[in-house]
C-alpha cells in the first residue's frame, strides 16, 4: 500500500514542484513524475482543440485517493492531483509525483496511477474545438 501525501481535485493551476516536495524523503532514491497537459489536437476533432472543461462526480477525490494508495506493487510515496473546471491548451490537467526506494517501483506506480485514472476516475471532459464544436469524453475517453 502506498503512502498518499496528496490526492485532490483542484480548480487552480497544478504545481509540479509542490507534488515533488510532498514525496521527498531520505529513504527514497527514485522520484518519477508525470504531467498530462491539454493539447491542441485530438484524433476525433475536426478542427484544433482550444480547451477542455473538466467536471467530476462528488466521490472523485476519494476515488483518486484509492487509486494512489493501491497503484503498483510497492510501498511508495504518492502525490497526485487532477484539474477540474476550464483549462486552456498547455495547462496541466494531471500531475503525479512518486518516490520509492528503487526506480522500477517509482515508474510502475506512476504508470499504474495514470492508467487507472483514465479508466476509473469519475471525471468527464468537454472538449472545445476552434469551429465551436464540442464533444464530451467520459471515463476511459
Domain borders along the chain are 3-137
For the entire predicted model, the pTM comes to: 0.95
| Residue-wise pLDDT tens digits, 103-135 | 999 999 999 999 999 999 999 999 999 999 999
| Residue-wise pLDDT tens digits, 36-91 | 999 999 999 999 999 999 999 999 999 999 999 999 987 999 999 999 999 999 99
Determine the pLDDT at residue 140: 61
- Cα–Cα distance list, 136 to 40, 69, 124, 129 (Å): 16, 29, 7, 12
Cα separation of 44 and 24, whole Å? Answer: 39
Question: Could you tell me the fold of the domain covering 3-137?
Answer: Aldehyde Oxidoreductase; domain 3 (3.90.1170)
Amino acid at each position: 500500500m502506498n503512502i498518499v501525501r496528496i490526492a485532490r481535485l483542484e480548480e487552480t493551476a497544478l504545481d509540479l514542484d509542490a507534488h515533488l516536495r510532498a514525496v521527498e524523503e531520505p529513504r527514497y532514491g527514485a522520484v518519477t513524475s508525470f504531467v498530462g497537459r491539454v493539447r491542441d489536437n485530438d484524433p476525433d476533432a475536426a478542427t484544433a482543440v482550444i480547451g477542455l472543461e473538466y467536471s467530476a462526480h462528488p466521490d472523485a477525490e476519494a476515488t483518486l485517493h484509492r487509486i494512489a494508495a493501491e497503484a503498483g506493487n510497492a510501498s511508495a510515496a504518492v502525490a497526485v492531483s487532477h484539474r477540474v473546471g476550464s483549462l486552456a491548451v498547455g495547462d496541466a490537467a494531471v500531475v503525479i509525483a512518486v518516490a520509492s526506494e528503487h526506480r522500477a517501483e517509482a515508474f510502475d506506480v506512476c504508470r499504474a496511477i495514470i492508467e487507472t485514472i483514465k479508466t476509473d476516475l469519475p471525471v468527464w471532459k468537454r472538449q472545445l474545438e476552434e469551429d465551436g464544436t464540442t464533444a464530451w469524453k467520459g471515463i476511459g475517453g
